[in-house]
Structure formats: structure tokens, C-alpha cells
């Protein structure tokens, strides 16, 4: 599929408010959707032949164009050490200095008819960097999409906001040691 004239099409009704879908403009969705689809061509998947592309929409841009980062899955002959497209994109983002709060949306694209959400490991990984309200747009091989929030994909999630401050944990641990002595 060529994305030079890519126009995202929702496969189910989406909640649009002020022309935005989960806070993402049509232009931004077109860009990250097209990039996720294009990123599939960069996938290294000689074993599964299952191509996945991902694109991250950053909150801050220094230009008039939305800032994005893309990734593709990278497999290995030892299957468990392969890396999913979403984690490749987020790893790149972290190396570039982005962190929790930097991301506005995520797009993921595959070559299958159905919509493929991030795997369980990726969901937990994404949760480290995304708020529960962040939209994840999932594109099928036809370029149609469905969208779910991080909270919908990983309900009752464990994220950095759940952890007590390090100082509190340290104080509690020291208190436990003192009681045991």
C-alpha cells in the first residue's frame, strides 16, 4: 500500500470532538498512520514474516509538522530476543531524550485483515511512557483503523504512577529492618 495519498478510515465509529479523535487531528493521524504502514517495509522478520510498523506522535514539535518517531519489528533466530516495533520506536525515543509525558498517540500497522493490538509485553512497556488516556491507533492491511486508549488495552495496569516515591519505600524498608533487629 502506498501511503503518498493515505487517508485513514475508521473501521468503527469514533468519538470526534472539535475535529479531533482522542485529541489527535486528521493531519496527525494521517502522518502517524502512514508512517506506521511505511515502517512495516523496514521490518526484519525472516522467521515469522509478520511485519509490524509503529509510529509515535510527540507532544512537542519544533516545526509546523508533527514530530514523530517510527519503529519496525526486529526478529532474531533465537525467537524470544526479537523486539516488537513499538519497543523499537520507544527505545529510539528514549535515546533521543523523550520520556513519560512526551507522547500524544501511537500508531501500529500490520499486514493482516484484522486489527492487531500491541502484545502484552509491549502494552506493559508502553504503559511506562503513556498516560492511560493516550490513544493507540491500530491499522490493518487495508489502512483501516480502530482506536483504543492505553487504559482500555491494559486495564488495572501497573505503571510508574502506582509506585510510591523512592524516599517513602526507603524509609519503610529502614523501619522494617529496625523492627527486625
In the prediction, which pLDDT does 2 show? 45
Per residue in 13-24, pLDDT tens? Answer: 888 888 899 999
Report helix, strand or coil for 88: helix
In the prediction, which pLDDT does 66 show? 84
Burial 23-35 (b: 16+ CB within 10 A, else e): ebeeebbbbbbbb
Mean pLDDT for all residues in the chain: 91
Nearest to 70 by CA among 53, 45, 50: 53
> Which of the two residues, 143 and 176, has the higher pLDDT score?
143
Per residue in 45-62, pLDDT tens? Answer: 999 999 999 999 999 766
The answer to whether 84 is a known ligand-binding residue is yes
Per residue in 93-144, pLDDT tens? Answer: 999 999 988 999 999 999 999 999 999 999 999 999 999 999 999 999 999 9
The domains of the chain are located at 9-155
The answer to whether 119 is a known ligand-binding residue is yes
The answer to whether 116 is a known ligand-binding residue is no
Q: In the 8-state DSSP scheme, what is residue 164?
A: P
Residue 126, Ramachandran bin (φ over 0: left; ψ between -120 and 50: alpha; else beta): alpha
CATH architecture of the domain 9-155 equals 3-Layer(aba) Sandwich (3.40)
The answer to whether 73 is a known ligand-binding residue is yes
Catalytic residues: 86
Amino acid at each position: 500500500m502506498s501511503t503518498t495519498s493515505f487517508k485513514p478510515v475508521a473501521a468503527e465509529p469514533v468519538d470526534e470532538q472539535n475535529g479531533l479523535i482522542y485529541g489527535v487531528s486528521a493531519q496527525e493521524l494521517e502522518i502517524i498512520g502512514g508512517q506506521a504502514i511505511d515502517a512495516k517495509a523496514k521490518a526484519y522478520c525472516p522467521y515469522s514474516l509478520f511485519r509490524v510498523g509503529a509510529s509515535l506522535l510527540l507532544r512537542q514539535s519544533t516545526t509546523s509538522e508533527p514530530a514523530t518517531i517510527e519503529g519496525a519489528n526486529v526478529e532474531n533466530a533465537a525467537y524470544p530476543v526479537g523486539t516488537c516495533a513499538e519497543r523499537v520506536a520507544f527505545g529510539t525515543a528514549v535515546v533521543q531524550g523523550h520520556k513519560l509525558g512526551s507522547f500524544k498517540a501511537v500508531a501500529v500497522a500490520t499486514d493482516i485483515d484484522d486489527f492487531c493490538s500491541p502484545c502484552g509485553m509491549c502494552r506493559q512497556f508502553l504503559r511506562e511512557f503513556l498516560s492511560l488516556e493516550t490513544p493507540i491507533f491500530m491499522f490493518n492491511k487495508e489502512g483501516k483503523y480502530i482506536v483504543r486508549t492505553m487504559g482500555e488495552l491494559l486495564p488495572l495496569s501497573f505503571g510508574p504512577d502506582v509506585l510510591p516515591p523512592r524516599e517513602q519505600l526507603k524509609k519503610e524498608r529502614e523501619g522494617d529492618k529496625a523492627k527486625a533487629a
